[in-house]
Structure 1
Amino acid sequence: MDNVAAIILAAGKGTRMKSSLVKVLHPAAGRPMIDYPVMAARAAGAAPVVLVVGHQAEAVQGHFHTAGDIRCVLQQEQLGTGHAVACAREALAGFDGTVLILCGDTPLLREETLKKLIEFHRAHRAALTVLSATVDDPHGYGRIVRNDGGAVLRIVEQKDAAPEELAIREINSGIYCMDAAFLFDNIDSVGSDNAQKEFYLTDLVAVAVNKGLACLALESGDAEEIMGVNDRGQLAEAARILRRRINRELMLSGVTIIDPDQTYIDQGAAIGADTIVHPNCHIDGTTVIGSGCVIDGNVTISGCRIADNCHIKAGSVLEDSQLHEAVAVGPMAHLRPGTVLHAHVKIGNFVETKKIVMGEGSKASHLTYLGDAEIGRDVNIGCGTITCNYDGVNKHRTVIGDQVFIGSDVQLVAPVTVGRNSLVAAGTTVTIDVPPDSLAIARVPQVNKDGWRLKKK
C-alpha cells in the first residue's frame, strides 16, 4: 500500500521475562520477536519503519544495522505509549499519510490483518482506528467502549476501568492506524491523569471524539494474533503458534510432517515437496532442503543447503554444510561447518566431518573423523580412520585422490597426500605422501611370545 509508515514500540525492558536480555530480542521460532511486527509492517507496505528503542537500545539497533528502511529513535525514559510515539515525530517529519502503530512484542501479527486495518481506516475516513478482539478473559487488557452506533468512545485501561467497563470483553490490541496529521497535531495533548501516571496513547480516542472525528475499531477474527508476550510462558505459547503456522504452510506446499506438534522448524526454512520430516527434528530458518528427502527423527539441521533425495538419519547434527543429490548421512553423524558432500556420498554412524570436500560416490561408513580434507571420487574410508589435522598450533590439510581405499584404523598425519587409486592398509599411520597406484603399509612388526602368559601365572 502507498503512503504508509509504521512506528513500532520496542523500548521496554520486559521485567516479567526475568532476563538480562531486552524482551523484544528474545527468539520465537528462530527469530527475535521484534522481527515479526517489522516483517508484517513491511509486507503491508510500510516504509519507513520507525523503532522506538530504550532499554538495551544499542542491541536492538545493532540487530537492524543493515536494514536501510529502519529508523531508530530513543525513548530515554519509558513514560508510556503516548510518550513513545511522540519520540518518533521527528523521524517522520514531513510524512503525510497513514501511520501504523505496533508493539514490538506481538510476534503473531499477520500482514493480512494490517492490510485490512489500513483499508478499513481509509474507507471510513477515520482519524484513528484501533485493532480489537473479543476474548473470554479480558483481564489485563484495555477495554473498548463503543457508542450505540459502534464508534469508539474511549479505551479504558484495566486499572482505570469501572466495574461495568471491566465486564466488556472487547479488548485493545495496542495496534492502531492513524492519519499522520491527526497523530502529530494532537500527541502533545495526551496527559498522565491515570493510575499509572503514564502518557497513554489511548487518550487520543477522547481527543478525536471531542473534535467530532471518526474513531473506530476493527475487530480481528483471530484473538491469538494480537497476543502480547510478557513472560517466558507467553513466549513459549507464541513460538508454538508460529511453528504451527510454519508447519501448516509447509504441509500445504507438499511436505510430509509426521507429527507437526513435535517438529520444530524455524521461520524462513525452505523445504521441497515430497520431503518427509519425522518427529523431534529441529531445522533452523537459514536451512534449505530439496525435494524427496527423508529427515529422520531427532535430527538437528542449521545453516545447511541440502539437495534433492537426501536421507538424514536419526540423531544426526548438521551445521553450515552443503549436501548434493542423494547423499546419506547418519545415524548419529555430525557434519560441522564447511562440510561439502557431493552426489551419492555416504556418511555413516558416528562419523564427524569438518571443513572437508568429499567427491561423488565416496563413503565413510562408521566411526571416523575427517577434518580439513579434500577427498576425491569413489573413495572408501575405513572404520576408525582419523585425519590428524592439528599439530597444537596450526591446522593442516589431507588430500586423498580418486578411487583410494583407506583401510580400517588408519591415521593420516597432515599435511599429507594419498595419490589416486592407492590402498592404505589397515592400521597404517601415514606420515609421508603416498604415490598413485601404490600400497602404503606402516605397522610395527608383530611379535608372538609363545607361552608368555603361562610363565606369568
Structure 2
Amino acid sequence: MNSSKPKVLNLLAGKPLLQHVYETASKIEHRAIYVVYGCGGEEVRATFKDESKITWIKQDEQLGTGHAVKQALPKLSKTDDILVLYGDVPLINQTSLMKLITAAAKSRFSLLTAYFDEPYGYGRIIRDNNNNIISIIEEKDATDIQKEITEVNAGFMVIKADLLNEWVNSLENKNKQTEYYLTDIVGIAVKNNVKVSSVLAESTIEVQGINTRAQLSEAERYYQVVQAYELMDKGVGISDPSRFDLRGELQVGRDIEIDVNVVMEGKIRLGNNVSVAPNCVIKNSQIGNNVKIFANSVVENSIIGNDCHIGPFARIRPDSILDDHVHIGNFVEVKKSSLGKRTKANHLSYIGDSEVGSGTNIGAGVITCNYDGANKHKTIIGDNVFVGSDSQLIAPIKIHDGSTIAAGATITKDVDSDSLAISRVDQKSIPSWNRPKKK
C-alpha cells in the first residue's frame, strides 16, 4: 500500500477494511470475535476502542497465518466451531460464511474457494481424481503447472476447535517463506481422513484481498455500485451508479433523484421528492420533503426542513437547523444557526452562531460578525426582518421583529421592533473633480 498506516485501517466507503469484516462477522449469531494483531496493532486497537465485543490477541512475531491462529487457541473452547476470517478482505458476504458454517457441521472442516482468471498471488486448490481437495499450494511454492490452476483458496474456513488445535500445533515452516501456513492443515486433514468440504464464494470480488491501492479502488467502486443498485431497487433515481458514493447509512423516502458525483457520509435521511444536483456532499443530516439541493453544495450535521432550497455553491455547516421553506442561495454559508420558516438568504452571505426568525430576508453580502478574535458571540434576528445588502451585524446583538437594516450598515447595538437602523457616512459630491493622472 506504500503507507505508514496499518493496511486494515485503509478506508473503503469511509470505513476501515477491518470494520467491514467485523460488521459481517457480527451478523452471525452466537459468535465471540477475536482479532489477532501484529505490526501497527496498537493503532488498530485504538481505532476500534469502542467495539467491546472484540477480544484482542497480540502476535509478537509475524510468522505466518498458522502462527497467528495459534495465538488465539488458548482462548477457544475445544467444542467450538472456529470461523477464520481476514481483516484485509472487506467484501466477504454473509451468505458465503453461512454456507461455510453449514458445510462444516457435516464434515467438521469447510473451506471457501473461488475461480480467478488471473490467480496470481493466491494459493491454488489441489484436487484428486475424485475432485476431493487434498492440499493448497501457495503461489511461491507452486510449480509452473500448479500455477495454471484457476481455483484458489479464498482463505476463509470453518473448523472444529479440537482439530484446529491439534493440527496447528503440528505445522512446520519448511517452505520458501519459512512461515507457518494455516493452509497446510488441509494436507493434515487428508492424512487424518477428514473430508474438506469446499464452498464456492458468491462472487470473486468478495474474496479479493486488498494489497494495493489499485485493488482498494476496485473494491470501492464495486461496493458503491452495489449500494447504488440497492437504492435504485427502492425507487431512488441515480443518474449514474458509477459516479455515486455512499459512505455510511442512507434512509430514503419516495421519488428521490440523485445526480452525478454526489457523496453521502455518515447517517443520512432523505424525505420524499428530494433532488440532489451534481457535486454535492451531504454528511450526517436529515433532509425533509420536497427539498432541492442545487449543484456544488455541502450540508453537514444539520437538519433541513420541508420545501427548502439550498445552493448552488451553498455550505450548511454543523449544528444548523433550517425550518420549512427556507432558501439558502449561492455562496451563502450557515454555521451553527437556526433559520425560521420562509426566511431567505439568497446570495453571498455568512450567518454564524445566529437565531433567525420567520419571514426574514438576508441581503447579499450580509455578515454576522460572530468572532472577536477570542470568543464567539450570538446574533438574534427576529421575524419579518429585512437586512439590507452589505451589512455587518456585530455580535452580540439582537435585531427585533419587523425592523429594517439599511444597506451598507454596520450595526453594533440592538435594533428595536419596526424601526429602521442606518449607519452611513454622509455622501458628498464634489463638482468638477479632476481625476488623478499618471506621471
Give yes or no for TM over 0.5: yes
Note the 1:109-148 alignment, pairs <5 A.
109-122=92-105, 125-148=106-129
TM-superposed CA distance for 1:149, in Å, is 2.9
Corresponding residue SS for 1:34: helix
**Residue 201 of structure 1 corresponds to which residue in structure 2?**
182
Is 1:97 paired with 2:41? no
Rounded Cα–Cα distance in structure 1 between residues aligned with 2:257 and 2:78? 49
**Residue 167 of structure 2 corresponds to which residue in structure 1?**
186
**Residue 250 of structure 1 corresponds to which residue in structure 2?**
231
* Preserved contact between residue 286 and residue 304 of structure 1 (Cα < 8 Å): yes
Query: For 2:39, which of 55, 65, 72 is the aligned residue?
Result: 55
**Residue 448 of structure 1 corresponds to which residue in structure 2?**
429
**Residue 395 of structure 2 corresponds to which residue in structure 1?**
414
Cα 1:453–1:192 shift into 2, 3 Å: same
Is 1:154 paired with 2:135? yes
Q: Which moved more, 1:36-45 or 1:365-374?
A: 36-45
Q: Percent identity?
A: 40
**Residue 25 of structure 1 corresponds to which residue in structure 2?**
9
Note the 1:8-23 alignment, pairs <5 A.
17-23=1-7
* Preserved contact between residue 421 and residue 436 of structure 1 (Cα < 8 Å): yes
TM-superposed CA distance for 1:302, in Å, is 1.7
* Preserved contact between residue 342 and residue 359 of structure 1 (Cα < 8 Å): yes
**Residue 207 of structure 2 corresponds to which residue in structure 1?**
226
Q: Which moved more, 1:287-296 or 1:382-391?
A: 287-296
Q: Figure out how many residues of one structure are paired with residues of the other and give that number.
A: 438
TM-superposed CA distance for 1:456, in Å, is 7.7
**Residue 71 of structure 1 corresponds to which residue in structure 2?**
55
State the Cα deviation string for residues 83-127 of structure 1 (Å, max 9, x = none).
0011112332x36222110111111111111111111221xx223
Rounded Cα–Cα distance in structure 2 between residues aligned with 1:159 and 1:456? 81
Is 1:284 paired with 2:265? yes
**Residue 394 of structure 1 corresponds to which residue in structure 2?**
375
Letter in 2 for 1:108: L
**Residue 287 of structure 2 corresponds to which residue in structure 1?**
306
Unaligned runs of 5+ in 2: none
* Preserved contact between residue 47 and residue 69 of structure 1 (Cα < 8 Å): no
Corresponding residue SS for 2:187: helix
Is 1:39 paired with 2:20? no
Corresponding residue SS for 1:348: strand
Corresponding residue SS for 1:244: helix
Q: Which moved more, 1:229-238 or 1:177-186?
A: 177-186
Letter in 2 for 1:26: N
* Preserved contact between residue 274 and residue 292 of structure 1 (Cα < 8 Å): yes
Letter in 2 for 1:91: K
Rounded Cα–Cα distance in structure 2 between residues aligned with 1:285 and 1:169? 39
**Residue 9 of structure 1 corresponds to which residue in structure 2?**
none
Rounded Cα–Cα distance in structure 2 between residues aligned with 1:424 and 1:328? 24
Note the 1:263-342 alignment, pairs <5 A.
263-342=244-323
Rounded Cα–Cα distance in structure 1 between residues aligned with 2:427 and 2:341? 37
- TM-score, with length taken from structure 2: 0.96
TM-superposed CA distance for 1:135, in Å, is 1.7
Is 1:435 paired with 2:416? yes
* Preserved contact between residue 93 and residue 202 of structure 2 (Cα < 8 Å): no
Corresponding residue SS for 1:47: coil
TM-superposed CA distance for 1:273, in Å, is 2.8
TM-superposed CA distance for 1:168, in Å, is 1.5
**Residue 383 of structure 1 corresponds to which residue in structure 2?**
364
Rounded Cα–Cα distance in structure 1 between residues aligned with 2:351 and 2:342? 16
Rounded Cα–Cα distance in structure 1 between residues aligned with 2:68 and 2:290? 52
Letter in 2 for 1:173: A
Corresponding residue SS for 2:353: strand
Letter in 2 for 1:425: A
Rounded Cα–Cα distance in structure 1 between residues aligned with 2:434 and 2:296? 44
TM-superposed CA distance for 1:455, in Å, is 9.0
Rounded Cα–Cα distance in structure 1 between residues aligned with 2:248 and 2:125? 33
Letter in 2 for 1:111: Q
Corresponding residue SS for 2:31: strand
Rounded Cα–Cα distance in structure 2 between residues aligned with 1:420 and 1:281? 39
* Preserved contact between residue 225 and residue 244 of structure 2 (Cα < 8 Å): no
TM-superposed CA distance for 1:55, in Å, is 1.6
Rounded Cα–Cα distance in structure 2 between residues aligned with 1:428 and 1:252? 53
Rounded Cα–Cα distance in structure 2 between residues aligned with 1:29 and 1:38? 15
Corresponding residue SS for 2:36: strand
* Preserved contact between residue 248 and residue 264 of structure 2 (Cα < 8 Å): no
Rounded Cα–Cα distance in structure 1 between residues aligned with 2:30 and 2:240? 37
Rounded Cα–Cα distance in structure 1 between residues aligned with 2:146 and 2:388? 80
State the Cα deviation string for residues 403-455 of structure 1 (Å, max 9, x = none).
11111111100000000111111111110000112111111111111112369
**Residue 6 of structure 1 corresponds to which residue in structure 2?**
none
Unaligned runs of 5+ in 1: 1-16
State the Cα deviation string for residues 296-323 of structure 1 (Å, max 9, x = none).
0011112222122211100112222211
TM-superposed CA distance for 1:138, in Å, is 1.6
State the Cα deviation string for residues 236-294 of structure 1 (Å, max 9, x = none).
00101110111111111111000111122224233333111000111113332222100
Letter in 2 for 1:101: V
* Preserved contact between residue 326 and residue 345 of structure 1 (Cα < 8 Å): yes
Query: For 2:336, which of 355, 361, 364 is the aligned residue?
Result: 355
Corresponding residue SS for 2:155: strand
Rounded Cα–Cα distance in structure 2 between residues aligned with 1:36 and 1:184? 27
Q: Which moved more, 1:177-186 or 1:391-400?
A: 177-186
**Residue 67 of structure 2 corresponds to which residue in structure 1?**
83
State the Cα deviation string for residues 377-405 of structure 1 (Å, max 9, x = none).
11110111000111111111100011111
Corresponding residue SS for 1:39: helix
* Preserved contact between residue 73 and residue 91 of structure 1 (Cα < 8 Å): no
- The alignment yields a C-alpha RMSD, in angstroms, of 1.6
Cα 1:95–1:66 shift into 2, 3 Å: farther
Rounded Cα–Cα distance in structure 2 between residues aligned with 1:426 and 1:361? 21
Rounded Cα–Cα distance in structure 2 between residues aligned with 1:80 and 1:133? 22
